[in-house]
Amino acid sequence: MLRIGMLTSGGDCQALNAAMRGVFKTVENNTNEPVEFYGFEDGYKGLIYSKFRILKDEDFTNILTIGGTILGTSRVPFKTIREPDEDGVDKVAAMKQTYYKLQLDCLVMLGGNGSHKTANLLAEEGLNVITLPKTIDNDLWGTDMTFGFQSAVDIATRCIDEIHTTASSHGRVFIVEVMGHKVGWLPLNAGIAGGADIILIPEIPYDIKKIIDVIEERDKAGKRFSIIAVAEGAISKEDAKLSKKEYKKKLAKHEYPSVSYEIAEKIQEATGKEVRVTVPGHTQRGGMPCPYDRVFASRLGAEAGRLILKKEYGFMVGYKNREMVKVPLSEVAGKLKTIDPKAGIIKQAKMLGICFGD
């Protein structure tokens, strides 16, 4: 009997179900050994508190196109994983106990950066773990792509697309705030695809004067409107000079809902133009996965299934140079894949006339 546990951890995104389906179908179709799949509910919480259900073939029927996760998900911060919960439960010990109680051969975890830290910890504690790279931010180390990213790019791009007509009709400046606290892959790609005039990402601190100059130059050239794609983690050059402690202290006293509203106020004061902020928010993580993500997540799931059957554990299934690869969890945990300000995609965007505020 082959016993496999699966859980989805952290923020939800598109194609989680497609990835789990890929694991299930691959294992079922490529072994004569009896197989049991255990689905842990609400991420690591299900593993900690032994909340699970046995997954059958019907659980994976017609879920390829469904967003979210059939197992539910939650965030269990890695920084508190070694701390007992409010009832004194040792979270790591509890996860191990559940794993061994069910006599699991391995645990498949679908998650992002923080979730991979916990997965690596469990691997170091002796559990057989395989992970799949899930996040709309595309910021996981060791893989060129994460599933959920392309679907989120599509949604954010459509938002920018729809803004064009109202922006041009009213002659306004529109700011579209795109998800991305620490990295800017999503706003960068959506901004280019949506024809944004200015893109602000965390990796390139902005100068508000440069942004205002671009808007005024466009106005002089007879261009009635400007569109700015802003990462929620965009930061000014002044703030980038602050220490982390100083910056957190400043944010705690912040009078604006987000950085986009601060930028909007400064632009309006300097130019006299009407500025509007649009925040697509969690719509970027929701809904049906795009065809690319369905294919990509299915391939990742299939490769994870292959590793399970070969008993190769302690890896994240990644994607490098258009091929599936296995990346040691120890190399993935705790690392972010940020954008190099000198990267080709930044240079090419600048050649197109896009301003990054630098």
Name the one residue in this structure whose structure tokens are 């795109």.
178
Alpha carbon separation from 213 to 199, 236, 326 (Å, rounded): 14, 16, 47
Cα(285)–Cα(355) distance, integer angstroms = 27
- Chain centre to alpha carbon of residue 39: 22
137 is catalytic: yes
Cα(269)–Cα(142) distance, integer angstroms = 44
Alpha carbon separation from 248 to 79, 293, 324, 356 (Å, rounded): 18, 35, 39, 24
Phi, psi of 56 (to 5 degrees): -110, 175
- Quickly count: other Cβ atoms within 10 Å of residue 144's Cβ: 15
Instruction: Indicate which residue of 85, 87, 105, 137 is catalytic.
Output: 137
Rg over alpha carbons for the chain, rounded to the nearest Å, is 22
Q: Write out the two tokens for 51.
A: 């909340």
Q: Report yes or no: 74 and 115 within 8 Å, Cβ to Cβ.
A: no
Q: Which residues are catalytic?
A: 137
